Structure 1
Amino acid sequence: MDTILTAAALKDRLDGLDGLDGASGTGQRTVLLDVRWALGDPHGHDHYLREHIPGAVFVNLATELAGPADPGRGRHPLPPLEQFQESARRWGINDGDTVIAYDDSGNMAAARLWWMLRNAGFREVYLLDGGLAAWRDAGFEVAAGSEQPAPGNVTLSEAHMPAIDAEQAAAWGRQGLLFDARAAERYRGEIEPVDPRAGHIPGAVSAPTTANLETDGRFLGAAELRARFERLGYQEGVPAAVYCGSGVTAAHEIAALEIAGFSAALYPGSFSEWCHSASNDVVTGPEPYGEDKVSK
């Protein structure tokens, strides 16, 4: 199954050149979703109103792709299925549609929606490779203002993608491969801008999501991604899992792994859940099991 779509392929699709123009009724409808969000930037909707791909509907990551922050579940816990289905219908998704998600940050935010729809049993969902920047660079037009789609009828379910909890994460590094998708300095515990403790889950390997991308925000090629993850220790038959700060960019790592032909489970609560429990160790330094320091 493909994970990404190029800007040129999306333009052809929207123009009906591939026989899948939603307006004509000749094939699957295409639903475009704009997931403009970045840590430290709460103005995603303003960015969307200023410019977006024509027809794209804004998705609010903080309120529609996450429940309220909870120390026991993390900063961006997954919302209840019923709430997510209600949001998906509000965005105009019907059963049988094809969804294309994008953002303006290399799909770091859009991948959260991609993973959630896949987890909910919705298979025809893709990331626009390079996001809004790739669309602009191709010379395609943008729109301003807000889109108001007709309500959809999609029916979603749950648990279609592998996921782990904190108890499994505690032992994962000894039985498999646990990737930490945050910036390397946060993994090492040198800085921590959001969470109460700095460092990483014991046994985790540093694998920043930014290394999945070219400088223009597009994903590396499949062969390059395979080589990257194999250098980090990925092996067939060894279970892999991914976490980040709050479960958002870890989904980007899972998308990159899928492009490489690999699979991995998501730890939805991620470090923001892990570090709030005094019973969970946090280690610092560049090695999976830390140096001398273990914090409680």
Structure 2
Amino acid sequence: MSCKKETKSQFEDVSKAPIITKPDYYSTKHLMECEDLKVLHASSNIKIIDFRKPDIFSKEHIINAVNIWRTDIEDDSFPYKGIMAGRTKIEDLFSRLGIKNGDEIVIYDDNGGCDSSRLWWVLKNYGFHSVKILNGGLTQWKHKKGRLTSKVVKYDTSNFKFPLENNMSLYADLEDIKSLIIDDNKILLDTRTDDEFSGKRQKRGASRGGHIPNSILLDWSHTIDFNASQKFKPYKDLLELYRQKGITWEKEIYVYCHTGVRSAHTTFVLTELLGFKNVKNYDGSWVEWSFNRDLPFKQDTITTLFK
């Protein structure tokens, strides 16, 4: 939330062309289709962020995109990885990249929107709302014959600042999860794989395998059409997926994964696409929980360490 009066999004002034695609979701405020980006791509107030590893970005990316990766938006002062960076670090990063306060940000990746959702979630926490995820990411962009390049664009530096007030309505930390009492109206949702949940697989960065007691499992990737478009599945399919796990609108949902990336994706699906009102993403997730040896955990099998 900003202390200043909000102005009409400049995104609406870029082109009078109607939105080409209107998916049947609760909201598409933070979602963009590739057809629409092709129409609006040349706008001076749009900044496209390629949220992939730098070496992959350097080979090919959408024209005029700048590159950000997970480590750029992490707080490296913790003894484990993945914690969200502070406001100042991200403000400095955006300023170096030439991102301005009045820009509309479009983020894409090549992983079903998983990585893009993490940046969306961080920006929402700090009160910046002019951000959209490209539905289907680079895979869909290529399918729609979108232009690519290996040339890196550099914008003049800016003085990017977040609004004075945070908006942490989607945020949960370690203390929130420790004090969480699970009842019929509250759900702790693990969005990792079956093997991670059971403890069979321990990913690098975790101190042990397993899951937080009383959590239920729903792999984030089940919400994406990975066999074809890499776009989000239709509204009715998503809703049924969560209903099968007892996850309905009136519940309070706390989500976690390995480092809060996949669970940020689930937070996007639940809040933006389905309209859930009470969803929080545990920032430290399993990496932080497993680091604290005094905290309880459950493990269903013998653990094997994986990278």
TM-score band w.r.t. shorter chain: 0.7 to 0.9
| SS state at 2:92 partner | helix
Mapped to 2, the partners of 1:169 and 1:94 lie a distance apart of 35
Instruction: Provide the C-alpha distance between the structure 2 equivalents of 1:31 and 1:3, rounded to a whole number of angstroms.
Output: 14
Which residue in 1 is equivalent to 2:305? none
The AA in structure 1 aligned to 2:262 is T
Q: Secondary structure at the match of 1:205?
A: strand
Matches within 5 A, 1:108-147: 108-147=114-153
8 Å Cα contact 2:182-2:188 kept in structure 1 = no
Answer whether contact 2:104 2:131 (CA < 8 A) is retained.
Answer: yes
Matches within 5 A, 1:186-265: 186-194=196-204, 195-215=206-226, 216-258=229-271, 259-263=273-277, 264-265=279-280
Matched residues in 1 for 2:269 and 2:77: separation? 27
| Counterpart secondary structure, 2:264 | helix
Q: 1:34 aligns with which of 50, 58, 68?
A: 50
Whether 1:181 aligns to 2:191 is yes
**What is the rounded CA distance, in whole Å, between the counterparts of 1:89 and 1:201 in structure 2?**
38
Q: Is the counterpart of residue 51 in structure 1 residue 67 in structure 2? A: no
User: Would the aligned equivalents of 1:223 and 1:260 in 2 still touch at CA under 8 Å?
Assistant: no
Pair 1:278 & 2:293 matched: yes
Q: Following the alignment from structure 2 to structure 1, what is the Cα–Cα distance between the partners of residues 181 and 59?
A: 44
User: Secondary structure at 2:37's aligned position in 1?
Assistant: helix
1:186-245: CA deviation from partner (whole Å, max 9, x where unpaired): 011111122121110011111111111002311112222122122222223321111110
Contact 2:73 2:89 in 1 (8 A): no
Q: Secondary structure at the match of 2:141?
A: helix
Tell me the CA shift for residue 152 of structure 1.
2.8
Moved more, 180-189 or 220-229: 220-229
**Distance (whole Å) between structure 1 residues aligned to residue 275 and residue 240 of structure 2:** 11
1:12, distance to aligned residue in structure 2 (A): 0.7
Task: Please tell me whether the aligned partners of residues 100 and 159 of structure 2 are also in contact (alpha carbons under 8 angstroms).
Answer: yes
RMSD (Å) for aligned C-alpha atoms: 1.7
Which consecutive residues of structure 1, in runs of 5 or more, have no partner in the other structure?
16-20, 23-28, 37-43, 286-290, 292-296
Change (3 A) 1:173 1:202: farther
TM-score normalized by structure 2?
Answer: 0.82
Counterpart residue number, 1:266: 281
CA 1:171–1:206 in 2, change beyond 3 Å: closer, same or farther?
Answer: farther
* Corresponding pairs, count: 265
Q: 2:202 is matched by which residue type in structure 1?
A: E
- Deviations 1:142-186 (Å, cap 9, x if unpaired)? 010322122233321434432222232134361411111111210
Q: Give the counterpart letter for 2:275 in structure 1.
A: G
Alignment correspondent of 2:178: 170
Matches within 5 A, 1:48-127: 48-62=57-71, 64-68=72-76, 70-71=78-79, 74-127=80-133
Aligned to 1:41: none
Shift of the 226–69 alpha-carbon distance from structure 1 to 2, 3 Å rule, reads farther
Code of the aligned partner of 2:294: S
User: What is the distance in 2 between the residues matched to 1:153 and 1:231?
Assistant: 47
What one-letter code is carried by the residue in structure 1 that aligns with 2:60?
E
Once the two structures are TM-superposed, the CA of residue 69 in structure 1 deviates from its matched residue by 6.4
The secondary structure found in structure 1 opposite 2:237 is helix
Q: Secondary structure at the match of 1:115?
A: helix
Asked whether the equivalents of residues 170 and 202 of structure 1 are also in contact (C-alpha less than 8 Å), the reply is: no
**Contact 1:69 1:76 survives alignment (8 Å):** no
Q: Which amino acid aligns with 2:243?
A: E
Q: Which amino acid aligns with 1:9?
A: D
